[in-house]
Amino acid sequence: MLIAFASIQVQAQKPLKFSEPSYTSGGVNYAFYAKDKNSIKSKIIALNKKGIFSRKDKFVGYTLRLENNVRQEQTGEIALKVINQSGVILYQDVAGFSMRKKGEFEKKYFFDVSQMQPGYYTSTISISSAQYADSVSYTFAFEPTTAATTVSSAPSDFVNFWEQAKRDLNSTRADIAIRPRPDLYRKNHNTFEIEYQSVDKAIIYGWLTVPADKSSHPVLYIISDYQSELIPEYRKDVAVLSINTRGTGPSNQNYNLGYDQLGLYNIADRNKYFLKGVYLDGLRGVDVIFQAANQLHLDTRKIVVQGAGLGASVAAYLGAIDTRVSGVVLEAPNFLGFSSLLNSSQGFPASMFNSSIFQRRITKDNVLNTLEYFDPIYFAPYISNRILVGYSLNNSNTPAQNVIQFIDQLRINKKDKYECKNCGNTLNKGFYGFKETWLKERFGQP
Amino acid sequence: MKSNISKKIIAVLLTISFLQTAKAGFPIGNGRWLLAPTYTKYYADGYWDNTGIYNNFAKKGRYESDYFGLFGGVGIGRDVDLVFNIPYVQQRYLENGQIQESLSAVGDVIVGLSYFINHFDYYKHLSITGSLIFPAYPSIEQTYLLPGFNSTGGEIKMGLAGTNTNYLKDTYYDVEAGIRTYFNAGGPTMFFANATLGVPFNEDWKLSGTLNLLSSNSNTGFLTPTNIFINRDFSYFRGNISLGRRINRNITWWVSIFRDFTGRSIGQGQGFSTFMVFKF
C-alpha cells in the first residue's frame, strides 16, 4: 500500500536538476556511535536493471528503499550527494523520512537526462535516525561507452621512478629464508615460513604452502591488504605464497603504526613513502617463488598474483612491471584513482589522507604529487597479463568509478571484470566462485 | 513370449545412466577435455511384467550384457560444452546356462551441446543440453537382442549441478530431467530424471549415490506389427552407489554397483560398473 502510494507521488515529481558545480572540501568524517546498523535495511534499486542508462531512457536514477526492522517508529534524515567521476558535486539534498514500526519507506531519485554527460555518477546517501546511522554509496553509468576518459596522464618521470625503484631493490640484499614448519604440516601440504629483506631494511614475513606430492605446482601469490595479516592458505594442487607487506602482521618492524598513520608514513617524499616499500616488498616476493622453485616443485610459468584492497594495487604493479607473472586478480581495489578519490570519498583510505590535509600537516597538492606515482590507474596500460577485477558498485570507501577507470585504462584485450551491484565494501560468493573458475583456466587445471 | 518382450532393449537403457557420477552437470571449462571410459556388467534373472509383477525368466533364463562406453566432452567456452557418448555392447541371453542368443555391436552414438544458462554464484550451474542420437549399427538382425531402437533420435534435458557451501558442506549434487524421442512412427518417447548426491570423505575418496527414473512411452503400445518384439513401453527406477578414488589431479577412478528397484515391462537389472574420469 505504502509502495503504491510512493510511486504515485513520484510520477508527479520533477527530475532533479544538478546544481552549479562545487568541489568537496574533503576531510569530513561522519562519526557514529552506539547505533544499531540493523535497525534499518537500505536498498538501492536502479530504475533500469543494470544501472547503465542512455539518452533513450525516460528516467535516469534509482529508488531508495528503507525497511524499519525495529518495533518502533523511526524518523530521520536522508542526505544525498551526487558526484561525477571528477569528484565534482552535482547535487545535494537533505530530506526527512518517517517509518512506522516494521514499516517501509521509498523514495525515487531521478535526474534530468538533458543535463547528463556520459560517464559515471556516484551517489553517497547518509541515512540517520535516532536508532540508525550509516551511509551507502551507489554508482550508475550514463552512456559509459562514449564517456571521455578523464584520467590525467601519469607523471612524466613515472617510468624512470619505477626503474630507479627496481634498482634500489636490486641493490638491497634479499637474504631469503625458506624455513620448513613441520608443526604446521598438513596431511597433503607442507608449510614453510618465509622471511626476506626489502628496501629500507624492512624484514618481510610470509607463508608458503606446497602440496606434498612431487608434481609441478602452479603458484598463487597472495599479497596482504592494508594491515590485514595473512595466514597460511592451503589449496588443492596449487602452491600458495602469502606475503605480509610492511606494516602488516609480523612485517611491522619499524612500521608499527596505527591504522590511520601507516599510510601517511613519509608521504611528503615519494622516494621514502610507505607505498613504495609495499610495492617493492611485493616485487621481491616473486624472487622467493623462483628461489624455491626447484626444490619445492613450483611451476614458475604459472604464477598468478592476487590482492584485495591495497594488495590489489600491488598486484596491478606486479602485473605491469614483472614479466614473470602470468595473471593478476584484483579484489575490491581501494587504493586507486587518488585524485578523484580524495574529493569523492569519506571512507578509508581517502579519510586518512584528507585528515592529514585537514590538520594542515601537508598540502593536498603534496599528497597527490606523491600518490600519483603509486596509482594503479597509471600501471594499467602496462599490464600485459590476463587480469580479473572484482568490484562492488556500492562500495562506500572507494567509488566503483575509480575501478571502472582503471579497467578502461587496461590495454589488453582479454580482461575479465566481475561487477557486484550490491556488495558494499566486500565481494560476494559469486565473485569467489568465478575466481576459482578463472584461476583454473590460468593454471591449466581441470 | 513374455520373457522375450522383457529382455529386449536393455542395452539402450545403459547408455542413459551412470555418467552423472562423473560430475557431468558441471562445466568442463574453457578449452579443457573430459574423457570417461566405462565398463558395466549388467544382468537380469527376471522381469517385471506390464502390470509391474515380477517373474523369473523361464528355464533359468538370464540376460547379460557387457557394456563398454566412452563418454567425453570438450569445453568450447565458459558456457558451452560439446559432449558425446559412444557405446559398444555385448549381449547374451542364456537358458540353463546355455547361450541362446548373442550380439555384439556399437550402440547409439550420442552427440550434444550443453549450454550453461546460469552459473549463479559459480558454485551451482544450470544447463540445458540438446543431443542427437545416431544408431551406429546396421539394421536389425535376426535376433531378439538389439543394441537400440535402430532409429535416430533427439534428447533435451535440463540440469542443475552444484557444490553445497553451507549445509552438507562440500557435498555436491547433480539433478537432471529430460525427454528423449526417436524419430519414427512408434517413437518411443522417454522421460527421465536422475539425481546424484556426492560426499567427499577427504581429498582422495568420495562416495556418491544416484537415483534414475525412466519412463518410455509409445503410442503404438509395446507390440507393433513390424517390430513385434521391440518393447517401447516400459519404466524402471534404479539406484546406484559409487566410490571414487582420486589417482592424481587429472584422473579419478570409480567403482559402482546398481540395482533396479521397481519397473514395468522390463528386466530386473543389477550389476556393477567401473570407470575412469580423465580431465585435462
B139 at A interface, C-beta within 8 A: no
CA separation for the pair B193, B158 (Å, rounded): 10
Lowest mean pLDDT among A57-61, A359-363, B72-76, B180-184: A57-61
Model confidence over B165-178: pLDDT tens digits? 877 778 999 999 99
pLDDT of residue A43: 84
Q: Which residues of A touch B122 (CB under 8 A)?
A: 429-430, 432-434, 436-437
* Cβ-proximal residues to A258 (8 Å cutoff; 6+ apart), any chain: none
pLDDT of residue A201: 93
B249 at A interface, C-beta within 8 A: yes
Residue spans of beta strands (DSSP E) within B164-228:
172-182, 189-200, 205-217
What spatial distance separates the first Cα and last Cα of chain A, rounded to whole Å? 52
CA separation for the pair A127, A140 (Å, rounded): 19
Instruction: Name the percent of chain B lying above pLDDT 90.
Output: 36
Q: Which residues of A touch B250 (CB under 8 A)?
A: 446
Hey, of B28, B121, B206, which one would you mutate to test binding to chain A, going by the most A CBs within 10 A of its CB?
B121
pLDDT of residue A88: 76
A96 at B interface, C-beta within 8 A: no
Residue B137 pLDDT > 90: no
Residue B228 pLDDT > 60: no
Residue B129 pLDDT > 50: yes
Residue A434 to residue B29, Cβ atoms within 8 A: no
Model confidence over B205-224: pLDDT tens digits? 999 999 999 998 876 654 44
CA separation for the pair A257, A277 (Å, rounded): 15
At residue B15 the predicted structure's pLDDT band, cuts being 50, 70 and 90, is very low
Burial string for A223-238 (b: 16+ CB within 10 Å, else e) reads bbbbbeebebebbebb
pTM of the predicted model over 0.80: no
- The answer to whether A231 touches A211, Cβ cutoff 8 Å, is no
* Cβ-proximal residues to B42 (8 Å cutoff; 6+ apart), any chain: B10, B14, B63, B64, B65, B67, B269, B270, B271
Residue B11 pLDDT > 50: no
DSSP B59: G
Residue B10 pLDDT > 50: no
| Residue ranges in chain A modelled with pLDDT below 50 | 1-12, 21-33
Of A251 and B3, the one with more pLDDT? A251
B279 at A interface, C-beta within 8 A: yes
Q: Which residues of B touch A187 (CB under 8 A)?
A: 202-203
Burial string for B171-181 (b: 16+ CB within 10 Å, else e) reads bbbbbbebebb
SS3 annotation, chain A: CHHHHHHHHHHHCCCECCCCCEECCCCCCCCCCCCCCCCEEEEEEECCCCCEECCCCCCEEEEEEEEECCCCCEEEEEEEEEEECCCEEEEEEEEEEEECCCCEEEEEEEECHHHCCCEEEEEEEEEEECCCEEEEEEEEEECHHHCCCCCCCCCCCHHHHHHHHHHHHHCCCCCCEEEECHHHCCCCEEEEEEEEECHHHCEEEEEEEEECCCCCEEEEEEECECCECCCCCCECCEEEEEEECCCCCCCCCCCCCCCCCHHHCCCCCCCCCHHHHHHHHHHHHHHHHHHHHHHHCEEEEEEEEEEECHHHHHHHHHHHHCCCCCEEEEECCCCCCHHHHHHHCCCCCHHHHHHHHHCCCCCHHHHHHHHHHHCHHHHHHHCCCEEEEEEECCCCCCCHHHHHHHHHHCCCCCEEEEEECCCCCCCCHHHHHHHHHHHHHHHCCC
pLDDT of residue A23: 44
DSSP B13: H
Residue B29 to residue A430, Cβ atoms within 8 A: no
A436 at B interface, C-beta within 8 A: yes
Residue B96 pLDDT > 60: yes
